[in-house]
């Protein structure tokens, strides 16, 4: 179970990085763009993620994950006025979430916590968010890619580069490491 915690922390750090790379490729004026009335802007998606993280992960082991002070409906109102507000909400949510996640101990994983009075083991609660947060980060990436268009820098293996990527991987010795290591700690940083 210790491996589980280490693995999910790395997974979430990876998705956080992907979200940040998508936001960093966007002109800040486009943080508020919506393709139609039913869609959310990047700013609204960030606002919702932050609201969810703050509610779910504040006093995680002792209070219901749907806090009385949370106003989920307001998370979908486009009322951020600046890119700085978007980044501030992004960082506040991730600091709360990752701070709580990294403080968990193996013995906490079987503890029952509640979200809207529905019991979850801590593992189930983590897995719930491991599906939820990447879902919204995928929306952010898709929207960013649509807006940036041909200026988009791929966040994974670029089109037409699979064979080259695989050749490089298979030319290296076998290793045991989490797949996110090369994204979170690129070789250049490891070689310093």
DSSP string over 72-97: GGGGGS----SHHHHHHHHHHHHHHH
Q: pLDDT at position 130, please?
A: 97
Which pTM was predicted? 0.90
Could you give the domains of the chain?
Answer: 2-159 (1.20.120.450)
Q: pLDDT at position 6, please?
A: 94
Q: pLDDT at position 17, please?
A: 96
CA 86/CA 43 separation, integer angstroms? 6
Q: Give the residues of the chain that fall short of pLDDT 70.
A: 1, 187-192
The residues, any chain, with a CB within 8 Å of residue 59's CB and separated by 6 or more, are none
Query: 86, 95, 98, 107: which is closest to 129 by C-alpha?
Result: 98
Q: pLDDT at position 115, please?
A: 97
């Amino acid at each position: 179970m210790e491996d589980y915690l280490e693995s999910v922390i790395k997974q979430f750090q990876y998705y956080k990085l992907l979200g940040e790379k998508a936001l960093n490729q966007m002109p800040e004026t486009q943080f508020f763009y919506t393709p139609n009335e039913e869609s959310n802007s990047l700013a609204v998606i960030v606002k919702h993620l932050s609201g969810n993280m703050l509610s779910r992960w504040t006093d995680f082991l002792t209070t219901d994950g749907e806090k009385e002070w949370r106003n989920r409906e307001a998370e979908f109102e486009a009322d951020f006025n600046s890119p700085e507000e978007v980044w501030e909400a992004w960082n506040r949510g991730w600091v709360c979430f990752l701070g709580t996640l990294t403080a968990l101990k193996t013995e906490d994983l079987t503890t029952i916590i509640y979200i809207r009075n529905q019991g979850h083991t801590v593992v189930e609660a983590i897995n719930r968010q491991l599906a939820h947060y990447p879902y919204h980060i995928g929306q952010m990436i898709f929207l960013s890619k649509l807006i940036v268009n041909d200026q988009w820098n791929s966040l994974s293996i670029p089109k037409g580069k699979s064979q080259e990527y695989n050749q490089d991987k298979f030319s290296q010795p076998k290793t045991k490491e989490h797949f996110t290591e090369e994204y979170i700690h690129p070789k250049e940083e490891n070689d310093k």
